[in-house]
Amino acid sequence: MRDDIMARVFWISILFLLAITACSSSNGLNATQTNLPPPDTTYTARTAEFRAGPFDEVQIRVRDMSDLNGTYYLNLDGRTKLPMLGDMDFAGKTSFEIATLIEERLSATYLQSPDVVVSLKPAFIEQVTVEGAIRKPGTYDAKPGLTLLETIALSGGASETANQRRAIIVRTIDGQRQMAAFDLIAIREGSAADPLIYGNDLIIVDGSRVRSVFLDIVRTSPIIAVFRPLF
């Protein structure tokens, strides 16, 4: 009973701080938004559906044409030179789109029905930080398509003291630190979406021993434009 009262006091305190923060900002508080958009940087925005960019690695396999098989590296403009095909622009394309482009070029010159498989490997892997009531807190690679539940699993899962009804994602959007709350149990049950995680995100899982961490995050945030309390 006492823990329940303390939890409610804790979240009421956060809501109070949110109100103060919103009033002090010209942007205000967007209370209707329930999810966080992608972060500011171009690279992390590529994480959900990975698209080729500068210095990325491209692995190409073509059936019945071993001369093209190999690993290639993109230049600053996202371009590379392939045997027989010459200069290719892969910037901003997915692995499927790159394979389709190569197949089109091959079918016009060398093969009637080319079969191309492409895989992409980013030049730079950004990381996500997981803190709070977690078995193995720390930093982990923000691989393409990583979700909140997958990140929690990578960090060993929630600890015995965790309140899995409340997990916070903190993210920088439009130059401002923003956050949203998610219910891990509802996500596992399929009644809530499993949000995508991006490089430089901070995830904090609520627990009786980590509530001061939440309050510190809120106090140091110039504006929190996205927040959904879960009671």
Residue 32 has pLDDT above 50, yes or no: no
Please report the pLDDT score of residue 42 as a whole number.
Answer: 42
Strand runs labelled E in the chain: 57-62, 70-73, 79-82, 86-89, 116-121, 127-132, 138-141, 162-173, 176-182, 202-207
Cβ(124)–Cβ(56) under 8 Å? no
Instruction: Please give the CATH architecture assigned to the domain spanning 2-44+125-219.
Output: Roll (3.10)
Q: What is the pTM of this model?
A: 0.56
Mean pLDDT, residues 117-128: 87
Which has the higher per-residue pLDDT, 122 or 62?
62
Q: How many residues does the chain have?
A: 231
Residue 16 has pLDDT above 90, yes or no: no
27-31, 74-78, 166-170: which range is least confident on average? 27-31
Please report the pLDDT score of residue 223 as a whole number.
Answer: 37
Q: How confident is the model at residue 226 (pLDDT cuts 50, 70, 90)?
A: very low
For the chain, domain boundaries: 2-44+125-219, 51-121
What's the fold here for domain 51-121?
wza like fold (3.30.1950)
Q: How confident is the model at residue 142 (pLDDT cuts 50, 70, 90)?
A: confident
- Biggest alpha carbon distance in the chain? 75
H or E element: which one contains 42? helix 42-45
